[in-house]
Amino acid sequence: MVDNRVDANPRRMLARSLLLSPIGGRTKPDLAARGSGTHSGAPGHAHCGGLTKLLAEHAPRAAAQRRVEDYRGRVIAVDASLSIYQFLVQR
């Protein structure tokens, strides 16, 4: 059941919304119970075990390292929900 109550505390609202959104068929509490010690945080290390290696082997041109300047004048989106969740859980 989804809790749609309005909360005055934005941090608690964010934590609640992140806890209710599924990731790959798992809920966030499942991931929290598993622990977050498997992610090094280093660039190129996907949290989806072996995704970077799989892409490199089967679709080598799918991902390329680029400079930030290459995106000047473009609109980009960054999904930071997992990082925000990990930050909130560790506090």
- Alpha-carbon distance of 46 to 55, in angstroms, equals 11
Helix (H, G, I), strand (E, B) or coil at 23: strand
Question: What pLDDT score was predicted for residue 69?
Answer: 92
CA of 45: how far to CAs of 3, 51, 60, 75, 84, in Å? 34, 8, 16, 24, 17
Question: What pLDDT score was predicted for residue 42?
Answer: 46
pLDDT tens string 31-77:
444 444 444 444 444 456 788 888 888 888 887 888 989 989 999 88
The more confidently predicted of residues 7 and 46 is 7
Cβ(55)–Cβ(63) under 8 Å?
yes
Question: Which residues share a beta bridge with 23?
Answer: 26
Question: What pLDDT score was predicted for residue 7?
Answer: 57
Map out the domains of the chain as residue ranges. Answer: 50-90
